Amino acid sequence: MNRVLILGSGPDAPQAANWDLSCFDAVVAINNAWRALPNWTHHIHPDDFPPERRPQDVQPDQHVITSADYVPAQNAYGGFVYAGGTMAFTAAYWALHALRPSQMCFYGCDMVYPKAEQTHFYGTGTADPLRDDPTLKSLPAKARRLQYFAAHQACEMLNLSGSESVLPYPRADVRAISAPVDPVMFAIERVKVARKMEEDAGYYVPSGMYWTELARFSQDVLDDIDAAWLRAFDPA
């Protein structure tokens, strides 16, 4: 099994440093998450991530992933507008495209930010998924869309978090991630509807810089697409 860990900067992220990471073929650390787990294999960050906060001592077996890598990968799955313009999803789509895993595990990527509690393992930070962005109005819908594309590649999605989480994937303990889980269930005809709605909208931005074209995106159209993805996974 080709197993990938996607590590975010949630409050629990440093616990991953205590894990036996031999079960993972790759560890993709997002933004500041490399500080929580020094033996990452891939570090992914947006172009505006401050250079002083990037890893300075990159080992020969470690790789830095930039927009030159993840923009073409994300475009292969329809682009940022439909995928959701935050790095947790960007990292996952890049991993699907570049690493072709059969199992993808998430930790520290819950994207839940209680106002009275610590939001990141390094303190209180600015929550990227909460910014005013038309692509991020429904994080659960974006998570379901990602889950479909993973299933299409025979990739199982797991959430290793023990906390409240936006990610709707089956929960698992890192010590038992080889245990079988129920297959992902979705209505393929409803998926086809969601994909056709995306195609008809035409909100594809090859450069990845979708924020430079916000004027041509209708929030109502994006909301309808999100609703279609949620319906595709609704057992009713």
Task: State the Cα–Cα distance between residues 83 and 77, nearest whole angstrom.
Answer: 8
What end-to-end distance do the CA atoms of the chain give, in Å? Answer: 33
- Is residue 207 within 8 Å of residue 196, measured between CB atoms? no
Residue 22: CB atoms within 10 Å: 6
Residue 141 has what pLDDT? 97
96 in Cβ contact with 124 (< 8 Å): no
**What is the reported pLDDT for 197?**
98
DSSP alpha helices (H): ranges in 153-187? none
- Tokens representing 124? 């209180």
pLDDT of 112 reads 84
| pLDDT at 227 > cutoff 90 | yes
Q: What is the CATH number of the domain that holds 121?
A: 3.90.1480
**pLDDT above 90 for 1:** no
Give the E-state strand segments of the chain in sequence order: 3-7, 26-30, 42-44, 63-65, 103-107, 156-159
Instruction: Indicate the number of domains in the chain.
Output: 1
pLDDT of residue 70: 98
Q: Which domain holds residue 103?
A: 3-232
For the stretch 96-134, pLDDT in tens is: 999 999 999 999 999 987 665 666 666 666 656 556 789
Given a cut of 80, whether residue 158 has pLDDT beyond it is yes
Structure tokens at 215: 């004027």
Please tell me the predicted confidence (pLDDT) of residue 160.
96
Q: Is the pLDDT reported for residue 138 higher than 70?
A: yes
With residues binned 3-state (H G I as helix, E B as strand, rest as coil), the percentages for the chain, rounded to 5, are: 40, 10, 45
pTM confidence score = 0.93
Tokens describing residue 34? 């490399």
**Residues in a beta bridge with 29:** 7, 43
